[in-house]
Chain A
């Protein structure tokens, strides 16, 4: 999910075909399939990496905590994995329905190469169904329902490199459902000097997460609320495995940031925000950036108003008062909560408006004034 991406921006970013124009003409001319639009009946099937076979041609998916048990000819809850005669396949490896170059701040990452561009890509599908999904037009559809192009991992890396983009980012829908594509793209990128990031709901089993984390430079996790009830009713997922995934990421040493989308009346109470920030501080430390972002009505929650500014402010104050060193505000352009301030001396280190970096006074990974080190990926 990318709560900061508006519908209009998504539409602009949505045409993977645009990326094909970025392809070098010669290299792939011999491989006609690369860059081609994929017809619904021609989805490439590749055996999934995380599942086990069960009796009677059934399989159990071991990628996300849903652990779907899937009968022959059926798909998992994500809609992108299919059991064919007892073998489980992903239908989205290389099947990009969205490719776009955009600033890393949009993910949002505020502590990863400020101002850098990322080649961002996504396939159709998601393993949950957030009623507030900004990108439901790709996340809640099956791959044959979203216009897509065949862009295998090496091609994505090549597009990024040819355009001088230092980062790859799996985002927009839910990278967990195209995890093999994420893994292979990160590996292909690494070979040509690119770094990879993932923007995810963190609803993933431990083993696949651990296998891919070493290939990533950073991961952003949407912590959608701090109650199982919200996860059940509004997300159709579970909170506990997401908290577990956050701990796994923390332990791995891979840089990560957290986003919480505050929705009026559903997850924005003072108690819930306080409990969430306390859990973050206790279990992940006070240095992890926490982005509190503002909800705008969409998808199945068009009946709710945008989050009031006062609510946003209150949550931001709570996060800071609870001791989080880097609490940010999102979707409130021009608010001081978009800036990075040194927790040591109060110096304004990075000034931003929206996704734009206006000023960056960091001295490497340190505050230029008090020399406090600021965690993140700065070079």
Chain B
């Protein structure tokens, strides 16, 4: 709400934001990053519209986390990545509605691991741009109570824009101020302009003006969002719900373009997760006789830009897949 805030209130908010940041910095533990490594675990889709079995979901998330870190269990991986003092923001991508959004069961399984780490429920916040999108995707929106919180940014952005490379944006206060750690919890799908919408394009939901940054296959803008200190400094993990994936016609859900990929992917390297998504999307496109993303003139160029920024390994041929 741009106009509901007076200048004085604004000054107050900015002050609060800075204080929050300073507090956050004290609790941030550096995540171990296994560059180029993507952990994979199977989780076949249920028959028809069946939701994934919660036990199987928990097993798959744990296995993917263990595989991506090389640690013995999902629990150990979460312990290495997060501190008990962290406030963890889990950015979901619910644009695709019930048909193609992260499954609440998987988010719940991940949140359970965070709780086991000692992070209390009220400091585990799954979010997306709006509460309405979350509801549509089957999430139970709540600002208190439950095993983890779940709500939309709903226009709660910083009052002043902040610059990173080519972007100038107001970040969600959840990201700039509230959370000390971030997780990009996306899906595996084709995107009409970005090429791939996995963990990185999902980060567009952190800024107030993503519509400004769709030129040139979203390059360098996606990389610039990732490279912003709020994001680069806090993003610990990418999880991709690839139970069902979409190889064409994104970002909207398109029933004729989805296929049962049956995999959960996790990586502490945000580029590697997307590079893997690119690979599997192209493989499915090939199988269907569709041109590759490169041929379709929408390769996810932002990956090589982010790689140039030193943020990870974004070349599909250079990543290591580890099955859990």
Q: Please give the residue numbers on chain A whose beta carbons come within 8 Å of chain B beta carbons, in ascending order.
A: 7-8, 11, 14-15, 40-41, 56-58, 68, 71-79, 97, 129, 131, 136-138, 140-142, 144-147, 236, 299-300
Q: Which residue of A lies closest to B157 (CB)?
A: A145
Which of A73, A131, A147, A299 is B95 in contact with, Cβ under 8 Å?
Answer: A73
Query: Is A11 a contact partner of B208 (Cβ separation < 8 A)?
Result: no
Query: Is B161 a contact partner of A74 (Cβ separation < 8 A)?
Result: no
Q: Closest CB of chain A to B172's CB: distance in Å? A: 11
CA distance A141 to B210 in the complex (A): 10
- Interface positions, chain B 254-293, Cβ under 8 Å from A, are 254
Q: Is B76 an interface residue, CB under 8 A from the partner?
A: no
Beta-carbon contacts of B216-237 to A below 8 Å, as 1s and 0s? 0000000000000000000000
Query: Is B249 a contact partner of A137 (Cβ separation < 8 A)?
Result: no
Beta-carbon contacts of B172-204 to A below 8 Å, as 1s and 0s? 000000000000000000011100000000000
Q: Closest CB of chain B to A19's CB: distance in Å? A: 13
- Interface positions, chain B 1-49, Cβ under 8 Å from A, are 1-4, 6-7
Q: Which residues of A contact B132 (CB under 8 A)?
A: 40-41
Q: Closest CB of chain A to B190's CB: distance in Å? A: 10
Q: List 6 A-B contacts (CB under 8 A).
A: A76-B211, A79-B209, A97-B2, A136-B161, A138-B3, A145-B155
Q: Which residues of A contact B155 (CB under 8 A)?
A: 40, 144-145
Query: Is B2 a contact partner of A147 (Cβ separation < 8 A)?
Result: yes
Q: Which residues of B contact A56 (CB under 8 A)?
A: 249
CA distance A218 to B89 in the complex (A): 50
Q: Closest CB of chain A to B204's CB: distance in Å? A: 11
Q: Closest CB of chain B to A90's CB: distance in Å? A: 14
Query: Is B163 a contact partner of A15 (Cβ separation < 8 A)?
Result: no
Which of A137, A138, A142, A146 is B211 in contact with, Cβ under 8 Å?
Answer: A142
Query: Is A71 a contact partner of B6 (Cβ separation < 8 A)?
Result: no
Query: Is B208 a contact partner of A141 (Cβ separation < 8 A)?
Result: yes
Q: Which residue of A lies closest to B209 (CB)?
A: A140
Q: Beyond A72-B254, A137-B3, A146-B1, list 12 extra A-B contacts (CB 8 Å).
A: A11-B3, A14-B2, A14-B3, A68-B214, A71-B191, A71-B251, A72-B252, A73-B95, A73-B252, A97-B2, A236-B212, A300-B168
Query: Is A77 a contact partner of B212 (Cβ separation < 8 A)?
Result: yes
Q: Is B130 an interface residue, CB under 8 A from the partner?
A: yes
CA distance A73 to B193 in the complex (A): 12
CA distance A140 to B157 in the complex (A): 13
CA distance A142 to B1 in the complex (A): 11
CA distance A94 to B168 in the complex (A): 28
CA distance A58 to B154 in the complex (A): 27
Query: Is A15 a contact partner of B211 (Cβ separation < 8 A)?
Result: no
CA distance A78 to B251 in the complex (A): 18
Which of B154, B163, B252 is A71 in contact with, Cβ under 8 Å?
Answer: B252
Query: Is A140 a contact partner of B212 (Cβ separation < 8 A)?
Result: yes
Query: Is A58 a contact partner of B212 (Cβ separation < 8 A)?
Result: no
CA distance A300 to B251 in the complex (A): 30
Q: Closest CB of chain B to A45's CB: distance in Å? A: 15
Query: Is B2 a contact partner of A146 (Cβ separation < 8 A)?
Result: yes
Q: Which residues of A contact B192 (CB under 8 A)?
A: 58, 71, 74
Query: Is A75 a contact partner of B211 (Cβ separation < 8 A)?
Result: yes
Q: Which residue of A lies closest to B191 (CB)?
A: A71
Which of B2, B212, B250 is A145 in contact with, Cβ under 8 Å?
Answer: B2
Please judge, given known A-B contacts A14-B3, A41-B132, A146-B2, whether A300 and B212 are in contact too, CB under 8 Å: no
CA distance A332 to B201 in the complex (A): 45
Query: Is B154 a contact partner of A40 (Cβ separation < 8 A)?
Result: yes
Which of B161, B209, B249 is A299 in contact with, Cβ under 8 Å?
Answer: B161
Q: Which residue of A lies closest to B4 (CB)?
A: A147
Q: Which residues of A contact B208 (CB under 8 A)?
A: 140-142, 145
Q: Closest CB of chain B to A15's CB: distance in Å? A: 6
Q: Which residues of B contact A142 (CB under 8 A)?
A: 208-209, 211
CA distance A7 to B7 in the complex (A): 10
Q: Closest CB of chain B to A258's CB: distance in Å? A: 26
Which of A78, A79, A138, A300 is B2 in contact with, Cβ under 8 Å?
Answer: A138
Q: Which residues of A contact B214 (CB under 8 A)?
A: 68, 74, 77
Q: Closest CB of chain A to B261's CB: distance in Å? A: 21
Which of A71, A141, A145, A236 is B193 in contact with, Cβ under 8 Å?
Answer: A71
Q: Which residues of B contact A68 (CB under 8 A)?
A: 214
CA distance A14 to B1 in the complex (A): 11
Q: Which residues of A contact B212 (CB under 8 A)?
A: 77, 79, 129, 140, 236
Looking at A56, A73, A77, the one whose CB has the most chain B CB atoms below 10 A away is: A73
Q: Closest CB of chain A to B31's CB: distance in Å? A: 31
Q: Which residue of B lies closest to A75 (CB)?
A: B211
Q: Closest CB of chain B to A27's CB: distance in Å? A: 26
Q: Closest CB of chain B to A130's CB: distance in Å? A: 11
